[in-house]
C-alpha cells in the first residue's frame, strides 16, 4: 500500500475496517492504483436518458458486458451502474473490476424542475453482487432534496454497517 493511500485511509478513521478495506480496493485497482486518484466508469445513462438515446449511436452499448469490458480495458478504478446492468454481467466479470451499485435512478419520461430519483436497488443487492460500494445521486436545491438526504443517510448507514463504501454524485437542480 502506498503512502498516499494510507494517508487517504487515515481520513476515514470513524469507518469500520471493512469499509476502509473497500476504499483501499478502489484506490488499489486500475491504472491509477496507489496514486490516490480515482476514475470510475458510471453507466446509468440507459436508465436516465433511455436506452435508444444512450446507445443507438453505438449498438454494442446495449450489452451490459460491453461496459464491464470498457471499464476493465480502460484500467478504471471501478465500474458503477444500476441494478439490472450489474446483475446481467457481474458473475461473468467477478473480480475483474470493483463494482459500485447505483441505488437510485431518475428518468426523463416526466419533465420536472425538481427531480427526485427513485430507489431502484438495495444494500442487500450490492452485497449479493460483490460490490465494494453503493452509489447515490442527490440534487441539492430541488424540492425533494431533504427526502434524498434522508434516503442517503439511511442507505449509507446500512451500507457501512456491512463494510461497503459510499459514493455520492451531487448535481445542483431545482426551481
With respect to residue 54, please indicate whether it lies within any of the assigned structural domains. Answer: yes
Angle between helices 3-10 and 17-27 (to 10 degrees): 140
With respect to residue 58, please indicate whether it lies within any of the assigned structural domains. Answer: yes
Looking at the 3D structure of the chain, how many domains does it have?
Answer: 1
User: Could you report the per-residue pLDDT of 31-56, keeping only the tens digit for each?
Assistant: 999 999 999 999 865 556 456 565 56
pTM of the complete model: 0.91
User: Could you report the per-residue pLDDT of 79-115, keeping only the tens digit for each?
Assistant: 999 999 899 999 999 999 999 999 998 766 566 666 6
Q: What angle do CA 63, 64, 70 make, to 5 degrees?
A: 100
Range of the domain at 135: 40-170
Residue with cell 431502484: 120
Residue with cell 475483474: 96
With respect to residue 149, please indicate whether it lies within any of the assigned structural domains. Answer: yes
With respect to residue 136, please indicate whether it lies within any of the assigned structural domains. Answer: yes
H helices present in the chain, as ranges: 3-10, 17-27, 45-49, 51-55, 64-73, 83-89, 123-128, 145-161
Supply the pLDDT for residue 104: 92
User: Could you report the per-residue pLDDT of 58-71, keeping only the tens digit for each?
Assistant: 677 778 898 899 99
The answer to whether the beta carbons of residues 47 and 109 sit under 8 Å apart is: no
Question: Which CATH number goes with the domain that contains 125?
Answer: 3.20.20.70
Residue 170 has pLDDT above 80, yes or no: yes
Amino acid at each position: 500500500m502506498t503512502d498516499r493511500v494510507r494517508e487517504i485511509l487515515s481520513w476515514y478513521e470513524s469507518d469500520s475496517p471493512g469499509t476502509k478495506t473497500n476504499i483501499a480496493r478502489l484506490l488499489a485497482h486500475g491504472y491509477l492504483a496507489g496514486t490516490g486518484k480515482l476514475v470510475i466508469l458510471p453507466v446509468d445513462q440507459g436508465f436516465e436518458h433511455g436506452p435508444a438515446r444512450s446507445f443507438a449511436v453505438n449498438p454494442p452499448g446495449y450489452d451490459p458486458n460491453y461496459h464491464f469490458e470498457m471499464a476493465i480495458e480502460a484500467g478504471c478504478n471501478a465500474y458503477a451502474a444500476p441494478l439490472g446492468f450489474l446483475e446481467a454481467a457481474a458473475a461473468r466479470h467477478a473480480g475483474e473490476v470493483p463494482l459500485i451499485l447505483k441505488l437510485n435512478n431518475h428518468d426523463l419520461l416526466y419533465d420536472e424542475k425538481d427531480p427526485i430519483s427513485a430507489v431502484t436497488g438495495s444494500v442487500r443487492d450490492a452485497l449479493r453482487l460483490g460490490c465494494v460500494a453503493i452509489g447515490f445521486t442527490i440534487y441539492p436545491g430541488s424540492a425533494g432534496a431533504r427526502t434524498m438526504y434522508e434516503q442517503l443517510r439511511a442507505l449509507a448507514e446500512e451500507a457501512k454497517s456491512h463494510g461497503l463504501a459510499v459514493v455520492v454524485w451531487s448535481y445542483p437542480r431545482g426551481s
